[in-house]
Structure 1
């Protein structure tokens, strides 16, 4: 028979309940329910030790949590209900009925609030992970049946997901798909080459108006355009044979591929990979106006607008010069407008917007606006990245956040968009990747040192290093 040891005051009841919220079983021990109390405390300690062991022994903790989202949802829901029940039962065994009526009302009310409060963290975790899982399932697919063998093998081989590769290359595209436009034109094309060990990244930007695009020898497009991508001018004098039209053209002409539909993504990936001399692993297509919703979801981005940017059919829009926080629509017009400007200036502005998003989307902001960001992302991205690779790509993305990110823009005077030097493009890309892989910082020259005539001449012949930090010059100092 239990020997009851009920607290003698409302303060004592509430104190033991508060302790129980942190260490389940404490109130039961105080009330004489020794077996129940010891069982609860033992389960609690074992659970904490198991979580600690899991965290310390799991090499890829973030990726593993992403992979086990269903388990997290179920566990959080069960723990929340269990904790609620423990608080309620703890209140009962403390026998608050022995208190004066006023004490009973106070302790009952506060005990109810405490029971709800201990459930809230579990509810938030359940809701966040549920939203994340829904977003992931909507954006990412299972390993496609037509995926290259290397991609499928990477998903199946967790001990070496990168199949011995030192870098992963992901093509980031900005599309202008619209209800009033047939097909997709990729007006923003950036290849992110990421070192899988360090996260060091090179962002290669290719201009939309690159002409005479060459296709990998032996491919259907190379056989159809042996001298480069060239079509007769459009009736209005424009051109539909620039780099930004490759996806759209391949999708519109399945006969080139033996009747296979929707070959645009693969053709563009292979074409840009051949142009830069790398293998493109996956692509992510971002709807440019969906991107504006993502910027709004994080509360806007701070940009230094170096001079007024005019936009609109009748030049009625204006993003004023100065450093300010831009909402999504203004940030997109800043990045996309070519009014009184050109493609190359626009590419630079796009780089600044990407850099601002990368540096300003901190974890606190993402957590605080998680639901809005998830909804915007779901409407924003189309990709062929298999769901199984997220376990490895998410931790890699976290590395990139704190790693060295440089940018190379293939624009004049580095290259001519009308008559590109393909070999030079590959040489510059290879050097930027090699430099990105270096872990030792460059040795700084002393102020008094003057370059030798030979070094000066070599520097002039080589030209200025085109690799820059992704936010270099984005403070208005162009």
Structure 2
């Protein structure tokens, strides 16, 4: 047998363990190896086809640990198989030059076959550690998926929507506390993934607190403080978290009440029950954008930034790095809060649309590191089993945006009833769109009535709230 033949059978053994043993006449060993290989492939296929909510299950520690252990074990086993295959092919019968060539390439092949298993083990271990670092919220009294039990058919226990508070904070090493300059509530239909993204301006004044809460007792007429020495205000909506954290005496000495207070306050403002929050550090967000290789955005006009207006994001369609994307989203120079809110919506839309699975897999470790540095949340780890498939629905569903900015509302004298009414209407329309799509898939009723069109209200005579697509208006002047 020539050196080329030895290497050919080794390469075949890397794809089908046991092939080299069969060629060398060791039929029993070869058949055992091939049988184990085929049985393993069928076992993996069976797990993939029979496991309900496979992607959600891959957030559980038991699954992730099993994958890491399995990948390491298989890597070692594959290495041993390649080495043993080389031995049974009896390379000692080759000329000395052939032995050197075959031995060198066989060693390289043995190392190469281990690499994919090492990459899988490393990525999964990184993923598991990242999940543990980010999702540290208290577990519900009854976890939605108990160990050893099948997930319930309806993980949301009959609820139609899940409401997540998405915050952009400006915490920094040289700044005390957290100011939430970007505040959005994602109200998600659990059946279709249709989502309403409701945005509140940072400078909303006289914020009302939920009756009966400590903040409502402290500010019965709304959140109002004396003006700052420089004339600015520290009693706007974006200061609620920071104020609550700075005054534990209001809560009987309990510290770090900012997140819960802001969830209650925004939920009360919109007339929604907020389930969880996720706070994104805006500059950590820039690192996430860099991790996926940047995002492509149409900048409608030059955006100036910097203390001395020294920075510039030029107009035009281009791929922006993280820092430029964040300045595009955050700058108020020669602009205002409401234009900035629109630009932030454009950045979110671009990230949602351009973070495809291939990019995420290729840059996994960088994305995981960036995510760990940028996200703070109270979502329990166990809820990821249900939130992962819901997030996949959102990516392919209809996402609309409702922004409470002038002239729709006055930030100085907000019409709270109007805010709640428009929010409720936007949520109803999102749910109605789901029902209409479901109804259109069934035969028409015998009475000849028709279902409302997707996105339209079923209530006659009432116009919908001023919602728009997530990226509608992006790139426009």
In the superposition, the TM-score normalised over structure 2's length comes to: 0.90
Instruction: Indicate the residue corresponding to 1:108 in structure 2.
Output: 103
Is the CA contact (8 Å cut-off) linking 2:329 and 2:340 kept in structure 1?
yes
Across the aligned residues of Structure 1 and Structure 2, the Cα RMSD in angstroms comes to 2.1
Is the CA contact (8 Å cut-off) linking 1:204 and 1:408 kept in structure 2?
yes
**Equivalent of 1:78 in 63, 66, 73:** 73
Give the deviation of 1:153 after TM superposition: 4.0
Is the CA contact (8 Å cut-off) linking 1:309 and 1:337 kept in structure 2?
yes
Distance 1:273 1:125 in 2: 41
Kindly indicate whether residue 270 of structure 2 is the aligned counterpart of residue 276 of structure 1: yes
- The answer for unaligned runs of 5 or more in structure 2 is 441-458
Give the deviation of 1:148 after TM superposition: 6.3
Is the CA contact (8 Å cut-off) linking 2:196 and 2:402 kept in structure 1?
yes
Give the deviation of 1:96 after TM superposition: 1.6
Instruction: Indicate the residue corresponding to 1:135 in structure 2.
Output: 130
Change (3 A) 1:436 1:148: same
Instruction: Indicate the residue corresponding to 1:420 in structure 2.
Output: 414
Is the CA contact (8 Å cut-off) linking 2:167 and 2:278 kept in structure 1?
yes
Kindly indicate whether residue 89 of structure 2 is the aligned counterpart of residue 94 of structure 1: yes
**3-state secondary structure, aligned to 1:406:** strand
Instruction: Indicate the residue corresponding to 2:144 in structure 1.
Output: 154
Give the deviation of 1:27 after TM superposition: 1.4
**3-state secondary structure, aligned to 2:279:** strand
Q: Which residues of 2 match residues 18-417 of structure 1 at below 5 A?
A: 18-67=11-60, 68-141=63-136, 143-144=137-138, 149=141, 152-154=142-144, 156=146, 158-159=151-152, 160-417=154-411
Is the CA contact (8 Å cut-off) linking 1:172 and 1:283 kept in structure 2?
yes
Give the deviation of 1:337 after TM superposition: 0.9
Instruction: Indicate the residue corresponding to 1:10 in structure 2.
Output: 3
Distance 1:198 1:115 in 2: 47
Distance 2:465 2:237 in 1: 25
Distance 2:430 2:19 in 1: 56
Give the deviation of 1:429 after TM superposition: 1.3
**3-state secondary structure, aligned to 2:211:** coil
Is the CA contact (8 Å cut-off) linking 1:154 and 1:163 kept in structure 2?
no
Deviates more, 1:343-352 or 1:116-125: 116-125
Give the deviation of 1:203 after TM superposition: 0.9
Distance 1:229 1:425 in 2: 17
Distance 1:395 1:468 in 2: 25
Instruction: Indicate the residue corresponding to 1:3 in structure 2.
Output: none
Instruction: Indicate the residue corresponding to 2:452 in structure 1.
Output: none
- The answer for unaligned runs of 5 or more in structure 1 is 1-7, 444-457
Instruction: Indicate the residue corresponding to 1:5 in structure 2.
Output: none
Give the deviation of 1:235 after TM superposition: 1.9
Distance 2:35 2:176 in 1: 64
Instruction: Indicate the residue corresponding to 2:475 in structure 1.
Output: 475
Distance 2:221 2:462 in 1: 29
Deviates more, 1:246-255 or 1:228-237: 228-237
The count of aligned residue pairs is 450
In the superposition, the TM-score normalised over structure 1's length comes to: 0.90
**3-state secondary structure, aligned to 1:66:** coil
